[in-house]
Amino acid sequence: MVNGLLVKEGMDCTLPCLVTEPAVTGLSLLTCSGDPLPAGLSYSTDSHKGITIHNISKTFEGCYVCAGNMGAVIVKSSQYTVDVRLVPDSVPVIRLSRSENVILIQDQEFTVMCSTTNVNHDFHVSWGFPPKVMALETHNSNILSGSRGYTRTAILSIGAVGPADSGVYYCQARNERGVSNATVHLSVYERGFINLTAGVERAVEVREGESLTLRVEMTSYPKPSAVYWTYSNQQLKNTSEHVITLHNKYISELKLVRVHGSEGGIYTFSANHSYTNVNQSFFVHVICKPMIVSQEGPIDGQVRCVASGYPVPKISWYYCETPHTRCSQQLNASQPEEDTAVVTVSGSEFGRTEVESRLNISKGKYHTLECVATTQGEQAYTLFSISERTVPHKLFTPLLTGVVTASVLLTLFLIVLLYKYMQKPKYEIHWKVIDSIHGNSYTYIDPTQLPYDPKWEFPRERLRFGKILGSGAFGKVVAATAYGLCSPDTVTTVAVKMLKPSAHSTEKEALMSELKVLSYLGNHMNIVNLLGACTVRGPTLVITEYCCYGDLLNFLRRKRDAFFSSKTGDGYYKNLLSQTQPSRSYQKRSKQTDYNSLSLCVSLSLCLSLPPEWIDDKDDLSLDTEDLLSFSYQVAKGMDFLTSKNCIHRDLAARNVLLTHGRVAKICDFGLARDITKDSNYVLRGNARLPVKWMSPESLFSCVYTFESDVWSYGILLWEIFSLGNSPYPGVPVGSMFYKMIQDGYRMSEPEFAPSEIYEVMRWCWSADPLKRPTFKKLVERTEISYCFMSLDYCALNYPTQQLLLAQNVYI
């Protein structure tokens, strides 16, 4: 006979096997099958009550018997089947199929499902709704049993909503632990709408060179079919000059980057759908510093001064006796008695305006005349020399003729020397910092004009130089030990860039420019950072991070023999040397822990390609697809940082990416550390050597370098990474045929170890139209999702649960 017992989890369960025969001793509990009792099961015996199992858990379910000894015979009771009923830990968790706020138009259908899960079937789900709602249907589904327990779903439906159906609908779920509620707020409108709210004042001022964001907030239903900004009757698109963003169809932003004086005017936001259209205009005034545009005279006793600025500059004149000095700052300066009219030459009511002033002068005791243009307390000026000048009667003399002849010969000699000098390769920093952008026309900041902060100064006597790590035509890079760089007691391995004694003044200026650009950029995990410099009492020294594993290109080539491929869908690892080295084992380490735990002075690296014999730190781990995705993601992060600093790289390639501890990738500019005349990757085109196979079509054929051309190069770098260091366009020499292939739209095929989604990113980067290429911010998002899909460690540390599920849905 089998007796059934149902017990709640956590309770005690008594098997009523009473001892009716006094001769029975040693009462115990056995399983019906004779197997050992479940782990953790404890019980107590009582001849008058039976056997009690304490603190029942789900693992104790099964068939049991009571057993005892009657002499030499073991006697058993009838069988008892114990079923454990689970008890929930908390009140129900409700899941709704619609968002908390729902907007509908009259006569549309409204359906929302409310689901909850419970460990047992003792729970209920129901809907509550506003009292005025009439034509409403609710339906409860049967209990569905799954791996997580039991699920109930309550469905609320209205076939055609009306304004009276607006209100709060709530779903209530109840279990043994209590009650939980979730609400949906329904708003019903008679027709669609778009409501705008300006995020800033409609009339705004911005200083020239600064950036401005125009923001419009809107609520709309249905979502707008078109959202755009216009300026001067031209629709603006997503470019580096005007960046348009739209968040969830509710906020639209127009970012004006480094506004130029001519970019003032009326910017209009427009949105529409089938029900309505709306517009909102912003009046942007660009405050421009005054500047002297031109000057003339004295001619026939008159001088002319033209200035520009906004608001319209005020022009003032000052006389003084001292030559070549600012008269307005002299105590004895005087102003003309006559009124001087200011005439507008050209300009706009929203930005820089040119004005002109003329002044009649007469001979007198004054030597200098100053024209001063003033706008909002800022000044620009120019000086006129108005003293009487004498002109010799004889223009040419024998002595003058000799001097002129010697000058001509000397000039020709200098031209020949200059030509010879120009034929030599120049040390040039590839990174360019943008001052302003107009379409495809970029204005770069002269790096020599960037400020240098003395805080970077490091005592040169605290450097101990080691091996020469690299040498170019003009300089070298030396490994060094820095004492007290990060803190007084630290000893740090660094790399020091310096010029050779034969370097010219232009190379010295270029090295100083590189120092200023690095200090301007600031620190980032994925670029080679500036650590210090020595600029006084000796030659200029630039101290940078030290990268122990060398450049990414040679690292990939060294690791080919230990690469494990795990392309999506393969379902296996493939060792490239599995047939020749069967004893090789796959070693794995937590890359994410390494990447997140590094600090600036712990993970020190050097912008240099190190020969194998100079690499002190060994990386004996194998290489896999997760590593390749990590490199791709890190380089995208570094380039996104450079883009945020208005910096164009112009030579992005695997040879210009370095690796340090934890396989952290860092972008660099080799500058003087590479002799491009001996590097086959740099091809002579015109009078310059260029990395042709990494260049975008617009850079190759129009000499245009933009953020988008860097994106093209990033696509080539991805190809290098997932081919494990192969040269791009394999088997295709650089020549007229290569250039024609690029113009005709030829693109490289998928590299052997690239997942399909990564090859799609490469093709996206190689779009013929630069504006159709992704931004580096987009590339960070795409590569991060791919890396997360491969690296569970990274996902656990960096992704909330919802984003992790989204990433999985993208690729499942």
Show which residues are catalytic. 651
- Please indicate if the annotation marks 159 as binding a ligand: no
Strands ordered across the beta sheet of 212-221: 193-198, 212-221, 251-256, 242-247
Q: What is the spatial distance between Cα 436 and Cα 784, in angstroms, rounded to a whole number? A: 31
- Please indicate if the annotation marks 595 as binding a ligand: no
Return phi, psi of residue 507, to 5°: -70, -35
- Please indicate if the annotation marks 656 as binding a ligand: yes
- Please indicate if the annotation marks 223 as binding a ligand: no
Q: Rounded to whole angstroms, what are the CA distances from 237 to 215, 242, 295, 442, 774? A: 16, 7, 40, 18, 14
- Please indicate if the annotation marks 546 as binding a ligand: yes
- Please indicate if the annotation marks 702 as binding a ligand: no
- Please indicate if the annotation marks 475 as binding a ligand: yes
Q: What is the spatial distance between Cα 424 and Cα 495, in angstroms, rounded to a whole number? A: 27
Q: Rounded to whole angstroms, what are the CA distances from 99 to 138, 155, 633? A: 19, 15, 33
Q: What is the spatial distance between Cα 608 and Cα 699, in angstroms, rounded to a whole number? A: 26
- Please indicate if the annotation marks 550 as binding a ligand: yes
- Please indicate if the annotation marks 471 as binding a ligand: yes
Q: Give the torsion through C-alpha atoms of 56, 57, 58, 60, to 10 deg.
A: -60
- Please indicate if the annotation marks 665 as binding a ligand: no
Tokens representing 257 are 């980057």
> Do the beta carbons of residue 608 and residue 495 sit within 8 Å?
yes
SS3 (DSSP) at 677? helix
> Do the beta carbons of residue 319 and residue 361 sit within 8 Å?
no
SS3 (DSSP) at 213? strand
Q: Angle 632-633-634 (CA atoms, 0-180°, nearest 5)?
A: 95
- Which residues lie below 8 Å from residue 129, measured CB to CB, with a gap of 6+? 136, 156, 167, 169, 170
> Do the beta carbons of residue 342 and residue 355 sit within 8 Å?
yes
H or E element, residue 303:
strand 302-310
Q: How far apart are the first and last CA of the chain?
A: 52
- The half-sphere exposure of 602 on its side-chain side, counting CA atoms within 13 A, is 9
- Please indicate if the annotation marks 363 as binding a ligand: no
Q: SS3 letters for 610-625?
A: CCHHHCCCCCCCCEEH
Q: Give the torsion through C-alpha atoms of 387, 391, 392, 395, to 10 deg.
A: 140
- Please indicate if the annotation marks 26 as binding a ligand: no
Nearest of 12, 15, 18 to residue 48 by alpha carbon? 18
Residue the block writes with tokens 């129901």? 126
- Please indicate if the annotation marks 551 as binding a ligand: yes
Tokens representing 485 are 């760089």
- Please indicate if the annotation marks 118 as binding a ligand: no
Which residues sit in the known binding site for Mg(2+)?
A: 442, 656, 669
Which residues sit in the known binding site?
A: 442, 470-477, 497, 545-551, 655-656, 669
Which residues sit in the known binding site for ATP?
A: 470-477, 497, 545-551, 655
